[in-house]
Copies of this chain bind each other. A is one copy, B any other.
C-alpha cells in the first residue's frame, strides 16, 4: 500500500487546468492565481484564457490579488506568447469554439501593461507605485525615462499618502529590475541632472568618472547640451534635432553627423526648403545616392534645390533623359551643347535598347532625323521610322535602309550575333529569354522560331521520358514488401529518391559564362540548382522551367511579329510575310497543343490496381501518398503558363 500523503499532492494537470479555467470564467482571479502560483502554471494563462474578459475586469483582478508583489510577479512573467495554444491547448472536444483571440490588436505584453497601469493610476497611484514602474519597464520597448521621471517626481514632491513609497525605495526597486548602467544612460537621456545624480549615487560608479562630464555638460547651451548627451547615448536622430537648433555656426558639425549616420531624409525635414543648409544637405544626399546607384533620385533632389548643373550630371548618369533635358533647357544650355547632350543620351539609350526614346532625342534635340530614323530601324520600330521618313520628306531612306533592314530582319543572318545566340541556347536555355533583345537583333525571326520550336519539342519529349522513369521507380518501390517498417518513413524515403533534394544535386549547371551577368537574381540562383543534364535529380523540374521560358519567349513575340508583318505587306513583301505568319502560327499552335501534355492535371489514373482485392489499409494509404508528393513537388514547379491569346497578331490579308 502506498503512503497516503504522496497521492494527495499529485494533481492531474488537465483537471487543474479545467478548474483554473472555471475560476477565470467566474472572475475568481484570486483562487486561480493562488493555484497557478502553487502548481507553477504559467501566469500568462490568466490573460490568454480570455483576453477580452480580462481586459474588461482589470480592476477586479487587481483588487482580488491585492498584493503589489503578486501583481509584480504577474507582470514580470508576461510573455509574447499565447499559452492557450502553446502550453495549455484546449481539449479538441471542448464546446467553446477555439477562435483566435478577439482582443485588441497590438503586442500582448504592451496591452496588458498599459491596461493595468491606467487602472492602477486611477485607483491609487501611490499604493501601486512599484507595480506602475514595473509596467513601464516590462513594455516591449522599456519606458525607462518615464519610470525615472516618476521616481524623480517622488523625490521632488514626496507624497503624503500613507501607502506611498519613497523615492529611495522606488529607485532601489528600479535598480533591481534594470541594469544600473542602462538606468544611468537613460537618466542622462532625460537631460535632468538631478535625476542623473540620483541614479549615479545609487550606482557603483566612481564620482571622479561622471562628475567632470556632467559639469562640462552643464556649461553648454541647452540645445547643444542635449545634442552632446544624445550623441553620447548614440541617439543620433535626437542629436541631429537638437543640433539643428544650434544655429549656423554648428551646421558643419550637423552635416558631418548627417553624413556619418546617413540621416539625410531626417535632416532635410529640419531645415526650410529654401535655406542654404537645405541645399548643402541635398547635395550631400545626392552624392550619397549616386554612390548607391540611385542617380535619378539624386537628380530630383539637386534639381529642386536649384543645383541645376549637378542635377544634369546625375540625370545623365541615370539615363533619365527627360529630366536631363528639362534641366538643360532650364540652365539654359547653348543649342550646340544641348545637341551634344542629346547625342550622348541617345547613345546610352540605344545601348539599353530603348530605340524609340533615343529617336526622340536625336530628332527633337540633336535635330538629326537621319540618325533618329536609323535608330528606329535598328530597333525594328517600323511604323515610327516611317512616320519620321514622311515627316522629314526623306523617302529615299526607305529604299536605302528601311527595306533592306526589313528583309534582313526577316531573312538573312548576322553571323556574329547568330552564333552567340546559338551558343546561349545550348549553354543555358533559360538565361536566354531574360536577354529579350536577342530576338530583335536576331536577324531572322523565322530561324529563331525554328530554334524555339525545336527546343520545345526536345524538352517535351525528354520530360515524358523522365516522368515515365520516375513512375517506374515509384511503382518498384511500392512493390517491395517492407511489412514492419512504418509507412511514413518508407514513403518519405521514396519521395526523396523521386524528387531528389536541392542540397544533394551535385550535377548543378555550371554556366559560369552567363551566371556572372545575372548573379543578383536570387531566383535564378535557385534555378541553377536545377540541371537539364540527363539523369540529374530534378531534371523534370528543370525541363518544366525551360519549357516555361520557351513558351513565354514565343508568346512575347506577338506584337513584334505583328508590326513586322504589317511593314512587310506595305512594301509588297507578301511572300516573306506569309511565310513568317505561317511559321509563327505553327509555333504557337505547337506550344498550345503541348501545354496540356506537359502540365497534366492531377496524375495518371494508377488508382485501379491500388484498391484491388489484395490491397490493405497500408497499401491504399501508400498509393494515396502519391498525390501528396506531387503537391509538394509542384510547389517547386512553375505553374502552366498562360498564352496571351487575346493579343491579335495575325493579318487576315495573309493566307
Residues of B within 8 Å of A264, CB to CB, are 653
Contact of A390 (CB < 8 Å), options: B301, B304, B329, B616: B329
- Residue-wise, chain A 287-319 has the 8 Å CB interface mask toward B (1 for contact) of 001001010110011011000000000000000
Q: Assess whether A393 is in contact with B570, with CB atoms less than 8 Å apart.
A: no
Q: A265-B653, A285-B653 in contact; A627/B631 too (CB < 8 A)?
A: yes
Is A569 located at the chain interface by the 8 A CB criterion? yes
Contact residues on A (Cβ < 8 Å of other chain), bracket: 35 or more
| A322 part of interface (Cβ distance < 8 Å) | yes
B-chain residues with CB within 8 Å of residue A655 when the two chains form the complex: 265
The one of B301, B387, B569, B621 that contacts A304, using a Cβ cutoff of 8 Å: B569
- For the complex formed by this chain, how many copies does it contain in all? 2
Q: Which of B616, B631, B652 contacts A601 (CB 8 A)?
A: B631
Partner of A383, one of B297, B323, B386: B323
Decide: A294 and B364 in contact? CB cutoff 8 A: no
- A residues 524-583 near B (Cβ < 8 Å) are 566, 569-572, 574
- A257 CB to nearest B CB, Å: 17
Question: Could you tell me if A389 and B572 are in contact, using CB atoms closer than 8 angstroms?
Answer: no
- Contact B289–A653 (Cβ < 8 Å): yes
Which residues of B are found within 8 Å of A627, using beta-carbon distances? 624, 627-628, 631
Q: Is A215 in contact with chain B by the CB < 8 A criterion?
A: no
Contacts of A194 in B (CB 8 A): none
- Complex Cα distance, B330 from A652, in Å, reads 26
Contact indicator B621/A383 (Cβ below 8 Å): no
A326 on the B face (CB < 8 A): yes
Q: In the complex, what residues of B have CB within 8 A of residue A601's CB?
A: 631-632, 635
Residues on B with C-beta less than 8 A from A615 are 617
- Is A156 located at the chain interface by the 8 A CB criterion? no
A383-B322 Cα distance, complex, nearest whole Å: 6
* Besides A289-B652, A297-B653, 17 other A-B contacts (C-beta < 8 A): A265-B653, A285-B653, A289-B653, A294-B653, A296-B566, A297-B651, A300-B566, A304-B569, A304-B570, A322-B386, A325-B391, A326-B387, A364-B391, A617-B617, A617-B620, A624-B624, A627-B627
